[in-house]
Amino acid sequence: MNKAQLVEAIADKLGGRQQAADAVDAVLDAIVRATVAGDRVSVTGFGSFEKVDRPARYARNPQTGERVRVKKTSVPRFRAGQGFKDLVSGTKKLPKGGEVSVKKAPKGSLTGGASATVKKAVAKKATTAKKAAAKTAVAKKVTAKKTTATAKKAAVKSTATAKKATATAKKATATAKKTTAAAKKTTATAKKTAPAAKKVTAATKAPAKKTATRKATAKKTTARKK
């Protein structure tokens, strides 16, 4: 079983996969931090985690058989509790359903520092999760408000543009009407001017005809005298 499978196994008991993942991360983080700090994390019926110092020593390379010096180091060590050992060895039967019945840890069974570290880590994880959820909710609200405000501004701009376009169209229509009226007036004036021009032309032609008649009469009179 890997970490993901462990989270899936306890997800139903903790109300969801995310809560289970947070709980597993918090417990492991607390155990690691406490062990690194030199504290002994002991869980009655399960086991204990502790830091063990190994002094400098000589060892032998299994491939070459050469003797090499190993520096001083520290390693983590886990010791299984008696209840855990009994279940693995078969001395006690593992229950078919429900949780494994290990002894509840009595007060003070955990090292003070480790217990405090575990509690702090769990509380920190829970607080971080709550803060993240609150920030996400606030961010969603702000985004929704900004989107609404942008939509309103766009609607106002569109309405103003439509009104301006309508006003421009009305002005163009009014100008066209004025132009049409002026054209009609010009046509009417032209119609009125045409009869007057005809009269002038007729008046001009009438004296010309009289002059021609007079010339013809004079020619006849001259012919008779001869």
**Single-letter amino acid, residue 20:** A
pLDDT in tens, 64-91: 999 999 999 999 999 999 999 999 998 8
Question: Is 129 a residue whose pLDDT tops 60?
Answer: yes
If pLDDT is split at 50, 70 and 90, which confidence band does 162 have? confident
d(CA 210, CA 214): 6
Judging by beta carbons within 10 Å of its beta carbon (0-12, 13-18, 19+), is residue 26 exposed, middle or buried? buried
The domains found in the chain, sorted by start residue, are: 3-54+74-130 (4.10.520.10)
Least confident of 46-50, 117-121, 132-136: 117-121
What is the distance, to the nearest Å, from the Cα of residue 113 to the centroid of all Cα atoms in its chain?
Answer: 43
Question: Is 110 a residue whose pLDDT tops 50?
Answer: no
For residue 32, what pLDDT is reported? 96
For residue 177, what pLDDT is reported? 80
Percent over 90 (pLDDT), the chain: 35
Average pLDDT, the chain: 78
More confident residue, 84 or 211: 84
Buried b (16+ CB within 10 A) or exposed e, 48-84: bbbeeeeeeeeeeeeeeeeeeeeeeeeeeeeeebebb
- Is this model's pTM higher than 0.85 or not? no
